[in-house]
Amino acid sequence: MSFEAAYSGIGRLDRLSYRDTVVHRLDPRAKVVATMLFAVGVVSFPRYEVLSLLPFFLFPVLIGALGDIPAGFIARKVVAVSPFAVFVGIFNPLFDPGVVAIAPGVSVSAGWVSFASILVKFALTISAALLLIATTSFPGICRGLRRLGFPALFVSQLLFLYRYLFVLMEEAMRVARARDMRSFGKNGAGVRVFVRIVGTLFLRTVERAERIYGAMLARGFRGDVPSMRTETFRPSDAFFVLAAGCFFAVCRFVPVPQVIGRLVRGVVG
């Protein structure tokens, strides 16, 4: 994926958050808490669990559908960052040669099962995080975190990260373009040029940070970024958190696929 494509992808995520749906209207705090519970629920499963994780997919699917977020877009983003998860788990099949039966008569090595488990957990948490941003907007999440009691310094760092990510990316894009224009297809003579470009960008960023801080002081900054949004935590938000929490608890502690399987067998037999 090229740099410019990555950039426009983030812009799109940003624009999706302007929509107005049931999910978008929920209080950011409710969505942040629900997503955290979701992540905790998913990650707490033991390493050889795959099937029991599957019901959790209902949460991102529902949020995506109700929030009118294109599934393909989120799926592509998940695939784009999946190399991280693949590298984490790729050696499991080699190092973990134990055998696990996954169906009557079919057994595979335990390493493959734990690898699959990592991939599923990864897909679940990343898609939930992306959907949280796409339905809440990054500043919305920051406001939610602040009002949940996260430290002001941490939240303002996140806010600036979001605001200046675009500026930094544009700057990097301009520098890369200038390099490409004078490198005649040789990709800018490789690593040495790249390292220098990164150095230049870093220096520019430091200078810019100084100017921004000056502009903030000029307008009376005293350490906390003030916000005027007064979201109220409505009963519907509480209901959302409660329902999501119950759903996660059921998925976590009740082996849903097995229960469904037993039910089906009961009906058939």
Partner 1 sequence: MSHHLLEFKDVRFRYPDGTEALKGVSFLITHGESVGIVGANGAGKSTLLLHMNGHLLPTSGAVTVGEVPLRKETRKEIRGKVGVVFQNPDDQLFMPTVFDDVAFGPLNLGLPPDRVRERVYEALRQVNALALVDKPPHHLSGGQKSAVAIATVMAMKPDILVMDEPAASLDPKSRRSVIHLLNSFAHSKIVASHDLDLILDVCVRCLVIRDGAIVADGPAPEILSDAMLLAENNLELPLTLQGRPGKEGTRQ
Binding site for partner 1 (CB under 8 A): 14, 137-139, 142, 159-160, 162-164, 166-167, 208, 211-212, 214-222, 225-228, 230
C-beta closer to partner 1: residue 57 or 221 = 221
Distance CA 49, CA 115 (A): 10
Cβ distance to partner 1 smaller for residue 62 or 158:
158
Give min distance, CB of 226 to partner 1, in A: 4
Q: What minimum distance in Å lies between the beta carbon of 6 and partner 1?
A: 15
| Nearer residue to partner 1 within complex by CB, 106 or 218 | 218
Q: Which is nearer to partner 1, 3 or 253 (CB)?
A: 3
Give 206's strand partners.
none
Give me the least distance between CB of 212 and partner 1, in Å please.
5
For residue 109, list its beta bridge partners: 99
Centre a 10 Å sphere on the Cβ of residue 23 and count the other Cβ atoms it contains. 22
CA angle, residues 1, 35, 33, in degrees to nearest 5: 140
Smallest distance from the beta carbon of 73 to partner 1, in angstroms?
Answer: 18
Whole-angstrom CA distances from 55 to 6, 51, 125, 165, 231 are 31, 8, 13, 35, 31
Residue closer to partner 1 by CB (options 25, 208) is 208
Residue located via tokens 């796409």: 134
Is residue 257 classed as helix, strand or coil in its secondary structure?
helix
In angstroms, give the least distance from the CB of 172 to partner 1: 14
Strand partners, 101: 107
